[in-house]
Each structure stands twice: as structure tokens, then as C-alpha cells.
């Protein structure tokens, strides 16, 4: 019963703190002004994601102290989360060079993996692969890509919040179905604190989460997936499937921009979801479509990996195939026609 009270209090705290941060952003003129590379048309306060960052970080010691989370996972999330959030907060208030941001991202990922012991054995098409030190390097790159892709995908109202909530709640359902009850509380807590923020971020958004919030969500979701993989290797596939919308859109966009020779660290609006929001003239249909894809396509496929022992690599391939098609269909990575 106590955990439900904590979850509800955390949601309320996130909601109220977002309101306070919105007032602060308006007072200090921390406003996202629409430009040629943005997807919104109205000046909007930013930095509200700091609300769920603070509440989630404060909840971590309580979860660990009551046995809902291992202390090693808590320290991994605390250290990496604080580092990424502080870096994002500073970038929200002024520009930090890409090389320094990237150095901070790698430092946060390495810190976290020192507590989580890197990448566990991977099961792929009936074979087990213990990757050793290469696995550790791969895990660092994965975490850095996760936090950056989440920042890239936070470009229209509500999309990053809805994705985090859907992925976390989807993972909780699969944990419950598969008997991994000990893993449920941490992603459930993350979902609930983001729900409090979503009240202010749902289209039309009254505040944006900013780099502090989006980068934090990216690395915490990545860490939750690695934590689960150490309990059961097939759970890594579950998370990769659930995160499919963001992973596919961001990766297809990045690859096409790299092949064209673009400066990938510069702001742009060539993701599939951004093209889609301009095509439909509103953010809401695209944000709701992301939620629907998660609920009706990705969640059932991820559940098959645990419930019916479907091979994770096969399920991932089936899950991603139509997402790649949609990314190409909505011009991910293409130059915007003037």
C-alpha cells in the first residue's frame, strides 16, 4: 500500500513542480522561440522536464531502501541521471559545445555501467553471445545514443512524454505477465512522474521538457533496459521493441543525414514525426499515433518474447520492419522542400 501512496505523491509533486518551473521560465524569459528549425509556432517556456527529474531522483533512494530496486541500479541511475540532467539544464540556459556535451554523456554512461557491470549475455536466434569488453563498449555507445536520440525525438508537443509512459507501462505489464515482479516499481515510478509533467506538455503544450528532461529520460530508459537484461537476457529485446518508434525514426534520420554529409550535431526538423506533424498541420494526431503504435503493435510483439518465448531477434525484425517503412514514407532524414 505504501508504494501506491508514494507513486501518487510523486505524480502530484511532478505536476506541481512543473507549474512552478513554468512560472520560473516565464519570469526568467527561458522561452523557446519558434524558428526555421523548430516544429512549433508559439513561444513556449522550456525546462519543465526538470520536475520529473527531481522527483524521480528523490524517489530512487526510497525505492532502494525498501527493496524495490537494488542499490547498484539506484547509484547507476542517480549518478548518470544527475550528470545528464545538469548538463542539459546548463545547455537549456546557454549553449554548450557539442564536444563537451558528448564528453559528459560518455562519462555518465561509463559511471552507470561501472555499477551495472556492462552488457550481459545476448541471446540471438538460438545462440548465446558473451561479448566481454566489446559488450561494455557497445553498452556505453547504446546509452549515449539513447539519451541523444531521445533529445532528437523531443520535437513536438507530448511525444517524448507519451513514449516514456507507454514504454514504461508496457514493460510493467510484461514483467507482470512473465513473473518479473521485482522489476516493476522503477519503470512504474518513472511513468507516474512523467504523467504529472504530461498534464502541462500535452498538445498544445504549455511547457517543453528541454534537454535536461529528454536526455535524462533517454539514459534512464536505457539503464532500465540493461538492468532488466541482467535478470533475463530476453528482457533486453522487450525494451528494444517497446522503444522501436524512437529508435527507428532517430536512426533512419541519422543514417540518411550522415550519408548526405550533413552536420548531424546541428538542429534540424527532418525526423519522420516532424514531417508528419507538418503534413497533418497539428502535433496531436502524431503524438496519439505514437501511443497507438506502442499499444497495439509493439507491446503485443514484446509480450510474445516473454510469454511464448519467441526469439527476440525475430520479434525485433518483425516489429521494426513497418516502422522503417513509415520512417521512409514520412521522409525521415530528407531535406525539407522549401
Domain boundaries, the chain: 2-232
Overall average pLDDT of the 71-99 stretch: 92
What pLDDT, on the 0 to 100 scale, is given for residue 58? 98
In which band, very low, low, confident or very high, does the pLDDT at 286 lie, cut at 50, 70 and 90? very high
Range 33-61 average pLDDT: 87
The response to whether 151 counts as a known ligand-binding position is: yes
More confident residue, 130 or 217: 217
User: Rounded mean pLDDT of the chain?
Assistant: 93
Percent of the chain clearing pLDDT 70 (strictly above): 98
User: Rounded mean pLDDT of 62-87?
Assistant: 97
pLDDT bucket at 338, cuts 50 / 70 / 90: low
Inter-helix orientation angle 98-116/210-231, to 10°:
30
The whole-number pLDDT of residue 165 equals 98
At residue 98, the pLDDT reads 85
Least confident range of 20-34, 43-57, 78-92: 20-34
**Phi and psi for 270 in degrees, rounded to 5?**
-110, 15
Q: How far is CA 307 from CA 137, 231, 300, 304, 317, in A?
A: 31, 16, 10, 5, 18
**Percent of the chain whose predicted confidence (pLDDT) is above 90:** 81
Give the pLDDT mean for 65-90: 96
Q: Is the pLDDT of residue 139 over 70?
A: yes
Q: What is the pLDDT of residue 35?
A: 67
pLDDT of residue 1: 52
pLDDT tens digits, one per residue of 289-321? 999 999 999 999 999 999 999 999 999 999 999
* 179 pLDDT higher than 90: yes
Residues 6+ apart with CB under 8 A from 207: 18, 21, 22, 25, 44, 45, 46, 47, 48, 200, 201
96-113 average pLDDT score: 94
Q: Specify the pTM.
A: 0.96
pLDDT in tens, 223-262: 999 999 999 999 999 999 999 999 999 999 999 999 988 8
Question: Torsion over CA of 105, 214, 302 and 299, rounded to 10 degrees?
Answer: 180
Residue 211 annotated as lining a ligand binding site: yes
Cα 227 from Cα 328, distance rounded (Å): 32
Q: Does the pLDDT of residue 213 top 90, yes or no?
A: yes
* Three-state secondary structure of the chain: CHHHHHHHHHHHHHHHHHHHHHHHHHHCCCEECCCCCCCCCCCEECCCCHHHHHHHHHHHHHHHHCCCCCHHHHHHHHHHHHHHHHHHHHHHHCCCCHHHHHHHHHHHHHHHHHHHCCCCCEEECCEEECCHHHHHHHHHHHHHHHHHHHHHHCCCCCHHHHHHHHHHHHHHHHHHHHCCHHHCHHHHHHHHHHHHHHHHHCCCCCCCCHHHHHHHHHHHHHHHHHHHHHHCCHHHHHHHHHCHHHHHHHHHHHHHHHHHCCCCCCCCCCCHHHHHHHHHCCCHHHHHHHHHHHHHHHHHHHHHHHHCCCCHHHHHHHHHHHHHHHHHHCCCCCCCCC
Among 280, 254, 287, 252, smallest CA distance to 155 is for: 287
CA distance 268 to 97: 17
Amino acid at each position: 500500500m505504501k508504494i501506491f501512496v508514494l507513486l501518487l505523491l510523486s505524480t502530484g509533486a511532478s505536476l506541481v513542480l512543473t507549474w512552478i518551473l513554468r512560472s520560473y521560465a516565464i519570469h526568467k524569459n527561458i522561452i523557446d522561440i519558434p524558428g526555421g528549425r523548430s516544429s512549433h509556432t508559439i513561444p513556449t517556456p522550456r525546462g519543465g522536464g526538470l520536475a520529473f527529474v527531481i522527483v524521480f531522483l528523490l524517489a530512487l533512494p526510497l525505492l532502494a531502501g525498501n527493496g524495490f530496486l537494488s542499490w547498484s541500479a539506484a547509484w547507476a541511475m542517480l549518478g548518470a541521471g544527475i550528470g545528464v540532467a545538469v548538463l542539459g539544464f546548463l545547455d537549456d540556459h546557454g549553449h554548450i559545445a557539442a564536444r563537451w556535451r558528448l564528453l559528459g554523456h560518455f562519462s555518465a554512461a561509463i559511471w552507470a555501467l561501472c555499477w551495472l557491470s556492462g552488457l550481459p549475455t545476448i541471446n540471438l536466434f538460438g545462440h548465446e553471445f558473451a561479448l566481454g569488453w566489446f559488450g561494455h563498449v557497445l553498452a556505453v555507445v547504446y546509452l549515449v545514443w539513447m539519451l541523444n536520440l531521445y533529445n532528437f525525438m523531443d520535437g513536438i508537443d507530448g511525444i517524448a512524454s507519451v513514449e516514456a509512459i507507454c514504454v514504461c507501462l508496457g514493460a510493467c505489464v510484461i514483467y507482470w505477465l512473465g513473473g518479473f515482479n521485482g522489476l516493476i516499481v522503477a519503470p512504474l515510478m518513472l511513468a507516474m512522474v512523467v504523467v504529472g509533467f504530461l498534464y502541462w506538455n500535452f498538445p498544445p503544450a504549455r511547457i517543453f521538457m528541454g534537454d535536461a528532461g529528454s536526455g535524462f529520460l533517454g539514459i534512464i530508459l536505457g539503464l532500465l533496459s540493461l538492468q532488466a537484461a541482467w535478470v533475463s537476457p530476453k528482457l533486453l529485446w522487450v525494451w528494444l521493441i517497446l522503444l522501436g518508434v524512437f529508435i527507428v525514426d532517430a536512426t533512419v534520420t541519422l543514417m540518411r543525414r550522415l550519408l548526405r554529409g550533413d552536420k548531424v550535431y546541428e538542429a534540424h526538423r527532418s525526423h519522420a514525426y516532424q514531417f508528419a506533424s507538418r503534413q497533418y498541420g497539428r502535433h496531436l494526431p502524431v503524438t496519439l499515433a505514437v501511443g497507438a503504435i506502442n499499444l497495439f503493435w509493439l507491446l503485443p510483439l514484446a509480450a510474445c518474447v516473454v510469454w511464448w518465448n519467441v526469439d527476440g531477434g525475430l520479434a525485433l525484425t518483425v516489429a521494426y520492419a513497418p516502422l522503417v517503412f513509415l520512417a521512409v514514407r514520412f521522409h525521415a532524414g530528407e531535406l525539407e522542400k522549401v
